[in-house]
Chains A and B, each alone.
Chain A
Amino acid sequence: MTTVPTTATSTAGRKVGRSAVPRPRRPVKAGRLFTPWLLVVPALIWLVVFSLWPSINTVFLSFTDARPLSSEAAFIGTENFRTLLADPQVWTALLNSVIYMAICLPVLTVVPLLLAVLVEKKLPGITFFRTAFYTPVIASAVVVGLIWSWMLDDRGAINGMAKSLGFVSESIPFLTDRWLLLISAISLTIWKGLGYYMIIYLAALGNIGKELHEAAALDGAGAARRFWSVTMPGVRGTMILVGILVCVSALRVFSELFILTNGTGGPGGEDNSLVMLIQQYARGFSGNLGYASALSLLLFLVTLVPMLVLARLNRKGAQ
């Protein structure tokens, strides 16, 4: 049996340095030095082989003028980055992505939680509802496009209703106006995200001890009160994780805008997202890989910002 004096003392030393009382929520030290590594190594290997290593190529390529299938990629320094900073379409796409995130983040961290609370209790038929709420996540894009165009088209359901009720005389241009199109795509993202994040919350709710609810109920706390004092603290960490996921997928939005604009990015490309631009430049056998890689790198840096903020929030909250 090997103990791990060095690790133990050094960590203990640091801990004492900061506070005399052992903090709660501090992981307990591992029994053996190699145990934690043994546990993470499989996942780590996967990460390096299938994700990290291929991504390093992207960094390399962003400084070249690489073309598909051609082995003659020349190093062109920061030219790709200078081009993209001067490209108004990149800035438009960036703005769209940020707006996307700003709206999706609050809605998709809160509404799925409420939905999870709604389907949490055992009621007759609740399995059916849980499954049905999840179906948008797995619905085929073609069908989703059809259904949404029925709703949003000039001659679609919403415009038909608005016209017959006399709210508007002209159709609302949900799918052609720069901002309305963006809002429509955001609604589509939210609609698809409800079920997805709902089940993450459901599991988190399940992990909260029932006894807490019971104790609160015995204390005479009502449903709303219990939600704030028991449920919310219980899912706090999960909310932050969901927040991170929402930010990442909002900044990387592709399919919703693609479906609603038929891949065009809207008139003048005003409804492009960064991933749509990457697609546009990298697609096909004659794509511009260097430039697309530079865009990928920009996207990576942009995504890092909200992640770091939320991760920091997480650490603060945990203390």
Chain B
Amino acid sequence: MQSLTSRRTSRTASRTASSGATRRSRVALLGGALAAVLATAACTGGGGGSSSPTQGASQAPVSGSVTGEITLQTWALTPKFTDYLNGVITDFQSAHPGATVKLVDQPGDGYSEKVLTQAGSGTLPDVVNLPPDIAYPLAKNGLLQDVSASDSTLDATYVKGAVDAYRYKGVTGVFGYPWYLNTDVDYWNKTMFSKCGLDPAKPPATTDELFTQAATMHQKCPDDYLMSRKPGLGDFTLAGVGVLNNDGTKFTFADDPKAVDLIQRYATAFQGKLMPSSVLNSDYLGNSTLFTQGKVAWTTGGATSLADFEKNNPSLKNNVAVTPALDIPPLYIQGISVSSKSKNLATAQAFAQFLTNAKNQEAFAHLVNIFPSTVSSQSDPFFSQDDGTAQGKAKVLANEALKTAKSLTPVEANAAMTTFLDQQIALAMKGDTTPQQALKTAQDKMNSLLANS
């Protein structure tokens, strides 16, 4: 729930720090790098990547035979899932003689830089694993294939929220096959609950209870905290605040008193010392790290997170309670997109479809705590069977949560905008400005950034 971005996005963001720090001279400046692409494109008449955008116009259906060599690029899945991926590839190749698929996996760190360079230099692989927020700008610039043009069964095959994530305002089409899904559940430190006068069997089930229990904890244990997060755009969505107007041209959250109340509530809690002061910097350690350290008693995380907590700090084993997310759970989506520049478009699209079919998705989800986006898999009893472990419970809860999960942050809000909002909210929580003023300042700035994009 921390910042309500996808697990990968937030992880990558935090690791950008590490790349920046060790390589100060070559700071991973994505946009700056693009500067060069643009200029080169301007000089050579198109550096290979940027072609005419497809706004408004649908692409023609793909035709042709499923043969030739294509490259599949996944994100941070090897070596752990090399065997699985190669298995899928082998199956595809035997079903389509003459077609070969080459697997390339990119490390988690620096993925958007890598994809951006590939897009900018005309070397985007035929089939690429892209989350919706990275696929969006590529789709807008005509670099991705509209997979709905030659596949009319998308809406029947994949769950609605997942397909919709690859539909964008201002561009016609669907720009990726939905792949695996995840969401957040809540994790609570039982030892800290017992120690600080709370009942580990009854962790907060609503946001109100969260604030009450945080106060109780602070009274008993002034040095321990329950909460360690500050709100963001996703929390506005949860509170029923309209974040963005319908045509995606203006942010509207600051005009809603509910948003002001929300910030005020966090500000009061922060000033009442219900949270560590480090939350002002979005938790420079991340609230999951604070949780692993035993410095806070609550964190949110995907269904796979518990395994990481326990691996890094084995003392947390049998010590963590799992409950569903407090509000509407966030929906995290990974998808498989097809490059519109692929030389073997038919093969690429056929493979993307094959990789994301129900059978292959289910096999993947049986290996690790993620969830298939195919409609027919939703009745797979595997995902609703609790094996009695905390991890098994996390899986069942997350699977349940996915039925209501929603993407909470609009793709229009880019890094510069969310950073600015984050800074203003921190200022308001600290008490240096009023929530009204902070939201107004943030909204004005974000709107001017939006108008320019």
B16 → chain A closest CB, angstroms: 7
Instruction: Known contacts A256-B21, A285-B134; decide if A58 and B416 are in contact (CB<8 Å).
Output: no
Interface flags for B8-52 (1: CB within 8 Å of A; 0: not) read 000001111111111010010111101111111110001001100
Distance, CA A287 to CA B413, complexed state (A): 11
Residue B419, interface by CB 8 Å = yes
Q: Which of B21, B116, B136, B137 contacts A141 (CB 8 A)?
A: B21
Interface centre among B34, B134, B277 (most CB of A within 10 A): B34
Residue B280, interface by CB 8 Å = yes
Residues of B within 8 A of A281 (CB): 31, 416
Stretch in B244-252, B307-315, B427-435 touching the partner: B427-435
Residues of B within 8 A of A255 (CB): 17, 20-22, 24, 27
B119, A284: Cβ atoms closer than 8 Å: no
Distance, CA A262 to CA B289, complexed state (A): 13
Q: Which of B13, B17, B137 contacts A285 (CB 8 A)?
A: B137
B419, A280: Cβ atoms closer than 8 Å: yes
Interface flags for B410-425 (1: CB within 8 Å of A; 0: not) read 0000111001101110
CB neighbors of B among A135-170 (8 A)? 138, 140-142, 144-146, 149, 153-155
Instruction: Known contacts A155-B276, A284-B112; decide if A289 and B34 are in contact (CB<8 Å).
Output: yes
Residue B69, interface by CB 8 Å = no
Q: Which residue of chain B has the shortest Cβ distance to A281 in the bound complex?
A: B416
Residue B262, interface by CB 8 Å = no
Q: Which of B35, B134, B286, B426 contacts A61 (CB 8 A)?
A: B35
Residue B81, interface by CB 8 Å = no
Distance, CA A296 to CA B31, complexed state (A): 12
Interface centre among B39, B49, B116, B415 (most CB of A within 10 A): B39
Residues of B within 8 A of A71 (CB): 38, 41-42, 46, 50
Distance, CA A171 to CA B39, complexed state (A): 51
Residues of A within 8 A of B24 (CB): 249, 252, 254-255
B419, A265: Cβ atoms closer than 8 Å: yes
Distance, CA A23 to CA B368, complexed state (A): 75
B453, A288: Cβ atoms closer than 8 Å: yes
Residues of B within 8 A of A260 (CB): 281, 284
Distance, CA A264 to CA B157, complexed state (A): 40
Distance, CA A267 to CA B424, complexed state (A): 7
Residues of B within 8 A of A259 (CB): 17, 21, 284
Residue B150, interface by CB 8 Å = no
Q: Which of A56, A69, A146, A282 contacts B29 (CB 8 A)?
A: A282
A58, B137: Cβ atoms closer than 8 Å: no
Residues of A within 8 A of B42 (CB): 71, 73
Q: Which residue of chain B has the shortest Cβ distance to A253 in the bound complex?
A: B24
B30, A282: Cβ atoms closer than 8 Å: yes
Distance, CA A146 to CA B452, complexed state (A): 38
Distance, CA A176 to CA B283, complexed state (A): 11
Q: Which of A149, A279, A289 contacts B35 (CB 8 A)?
A: A289
A289, B31: Cβ atoms closer than 8 Å: yes
Chain A interface (Cβ within 8 Å of chain B)? Answer: 54, 56-58, 60-61, 65-71, 73, 138, 140-142, 144-146, 149, 153-155, 171, 173, 175-176, 249, 252, 254-256, 258-269, 275, 278-289, 291-293, 296
Question: Other CB < 8 Å A-B pairs besides A149-B285, A262-B14, A279-B27, 12 of them?
Answer: A58-B32, A65-B452, A141-B20, A144-B21, A149-B284, A155-B295, A173-B277, A175-B284, A252-B24, A261-B281, A268-B426, A284-B30
Chain B interface (Cβ within 8 Å of chain A)? Answer: 13-22, 24, 27, 29-32, 34-42, 46, 49-50, 53, 112, 116, 119-120, 134, 136-138, 141, 143, 223, 276-278, 280-286, 295, 414-416, 419-420, 422-424, 426-427, 429-430, 432-433, 449, 452-453
Instruction: List 25 A–B pairs whose Cβ atoms lie within 8 Å, in order of A's numbering.
Output: A57-B38, A57-B39, A69-B120, A69-B141, A141-B20, A142-B18, A145-B285, A154-B276, A154-B278, A155-B276, A255-B24, A258-B20, A261-B281, A264-B423, A267-B281, A269-B420, A278-B29, A278-B32, A285-B134, A285-B137, A286-B414, A286-B453, A289-B31, A293-B32, A296-B32
